[in-house]
């Protein structure tokens, strides 16, 4: 009995396994068939599934379909290459240099540098004239103009002069005519600057001896940088230059001037720190004369805390230079910082008492709304402006032109 039961169990087990394997095999077969049925035939398979009795024209159109689809693809691939031109491919197009940015002209840099001064003068005047207030009188307009000029550091004296000239020439019918007021003001400022600025545009020597220029000014106004820029500009004109570092109490100034001398390929003269500035000036002129230099620039000390010492120092410098070249120094340029406004005017007065200032170099006009100081200096001190600076680069220092200055100041 036990044996029979064991045989039955074996039989049932074998039957169950066979049934199970058969089910799995059937499931796999059905799944493959379903996938094959739902699969979309590719263009390459299309002729195989086409009915054998299909018309030849139908079979031909099906076979030509892949070629028809390749035509726009090939055209699309060739179109960008043709657009590049016959001598330029995709690799060359990627290597093409981007357009260079526009380098601003001197006029554009000057306009930008005087932008804040322009706004200081005309902002309040615009508000009054464009308000269309019937109560605004001729007197109110000229008072506003006076205040605007003073705020731009034109100075009280010069502002009064300009306002009076405009008031005298402005017809009563044009009292509120903004364009008429601007036109007259521009003409008067230009006339004032022209009257005190009849000087050569550049520093040049007219003799066989070097043209000796003393550069003076208080510390921090850009005196040393200006000396370097003037040397570099002389090099660009084809002139040989010598530079003397007579500000012997500032080691940083000497180092900075040495760098500028290297750029300008100029002879550089310096003595040990703390040396007598007059000794440096004498050696500079002597070397410049011996080497046949056309220009000799001497950067001097700029201490105003003791006026008597400064006066004695500059007087000694002039005296020893004159021993080597009789009529030297030929020019004394005073560097003033436009951002200091009326303080710059006071500095110019002090230096004028100490040494004969022949010209002004006005720096840092790009960082201030006090550019009107240029007008005040020319009118009140009767000292011509030789150069103006609107930035740090060599290109940002240029000879002063009254017409260029006024045009830039009045440009919107």
Residue 255 has pLDDT above 90, yes or no: yes
Model confidence at 46: pLDDT above 60: no
Q: Is the pLDDT of residue 230 over 80?
A: yes
* pLDDT for the residue numbered 63: 39
Considering only residues 396 and 11, tell me which one the structure prediction assigns the higher pLDDT. 396
Q: Report which of residues 76 and 131 the model is more confident about.
A: 131
The pTM for the full model equals: 0.72
Residues 37-64 have a mean pLDDT of 43
Q: Residue 83 has what pLDDT?
A: 37
Residue 190, C-beta contacts closer than 8 angstroms, at least 6 positions apart: 402, 403, 406
CA 250 – CA 29 distance, rounded (Å): 98
When pLDDT is averaged across residues 22-39 and rounded to a whole number, the result is 65
Tell me the mean pLDDT in the region 215-228.
92
Chain-wide mean pLDDT for the chain?
Answer: 80
Most confident of the ranges 34-43, 65-74, 224-233, 366-375? 224-233
Question: Which pLDDT belongs to residue 30?
Answer: 66
Res 306: pLDDT:
58
Residues 68-109: pLDDT tens digits?
A: 333 343 444 444 433 334 445 445 545 656 666 678 898 999
Q: 35-39, 105-109, 266-270, 362-366: which range is least confident on average?
A: 35-39
Q: Report pLDDT digits (tens) over 286-329.
A: 999 999 999 999 999 876 655 677 778 888 998 999 999 988 99
Question: Is pLDDT above 90 for 54?
Answer: no
Taking 80 as the threshold, does the pLDDT of residue 399 lie above it?
A: yes
**pLDDT score for 132:** 60
The pLDDT > 70 percentage for the chain reads: 72
pLDDT of the residue at 204: 60
Would you state the pLDDT for residue 156? 95
Backbone φ, ψ for residue 358 (5° rounding): -100, -15
Give me the mean pLDDT over the 350-376 stretch.
Answer: 89
Q: Which residue, chain included where needed, has tokens 């599934």?
A: 49
Instruction: Compute the average pLDDT of residues 332-356.
Output: 89
């Amino acid at each position: 009995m036990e044996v029979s039961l064991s045989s039955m169990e074996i039989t049932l087990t074998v039957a169950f396994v066979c049934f199970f394997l058969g089910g799995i095999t059937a499931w796999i077969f059905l799944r493959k068939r379903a996938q094959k049925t739902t699969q979309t035939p590719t263009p390459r398979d299309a002729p195989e599934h086409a009915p054998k009795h299909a018309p030849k024209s139908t079979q031909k159109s099906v076979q030509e379909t892949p070629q028809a689809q390749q035509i726009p693809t090939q055209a699309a691939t060739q179109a960008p290459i043709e657009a590049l031109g016959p001598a330029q491919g995709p690799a060359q197009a990627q290597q093409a240099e981007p357009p260079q940015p526009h380098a601003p002209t001197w006029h554009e840099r000057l306009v930008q540098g005087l932008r804040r001064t322009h706004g200081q003068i005309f902002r309040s005047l615009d508000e009054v004239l464009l308000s269309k207030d019937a109560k605004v009188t001729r007197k109110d307009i000229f008072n506003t103009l006076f205040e605007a000029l003073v705020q731009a550091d034109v100075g009280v004296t010069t502002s009064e002069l300009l306002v009076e000239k405009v008031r005298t020439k402005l017809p009563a019918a044009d009292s509120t005519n903004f364009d008429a007021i601007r036109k007259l003001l521009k003409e008067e400022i230009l006339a004032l600057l022209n009257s005190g600025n009849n000087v050569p545009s550049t520093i040049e020597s007219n003799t066989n001896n070097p043209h000796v220029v003393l550069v003076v000014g208080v510390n921090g106004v850009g005196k040393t940088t200006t000396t370097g820029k003037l040397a570099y500009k002389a090099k660009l004109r084809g002139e040989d230059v010598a530079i003397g570092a007579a500000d012997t109490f500032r080691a940083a100034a000497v180092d900075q001037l040495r760098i500028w001398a290297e750029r300008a390929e100029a002879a550089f003269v310096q003595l040990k720190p703390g040396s007598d500035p007059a000794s440096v000036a004498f050696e500079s002129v002597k070397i410049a004369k011996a080497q046949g230099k056309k220009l000799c620039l001497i950067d001097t000390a700029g201490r105003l805390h003791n006026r008597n010492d400064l006066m004695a120092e500059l007087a000694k410098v002039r005296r020893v230079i004159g021993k080597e070249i009789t009529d030297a120094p030929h020019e004394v340029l005073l560097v003033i910082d436009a951002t200091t406004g009326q303080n710059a005017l006071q500095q110019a007065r002090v230096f004028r008492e100490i040494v004969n200032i022949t010209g002004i170099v006005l720096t840092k006009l790009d960082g201030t709304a006090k550019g009107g100081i240029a007008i005040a200096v020319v009118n009140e001190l009767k000292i011509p402006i030789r150069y103006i600076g609107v930035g740090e680069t060599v290109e940002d220092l240029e000879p002063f032109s009254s017409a260029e200055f006024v045009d830039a100041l009045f440009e919107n």
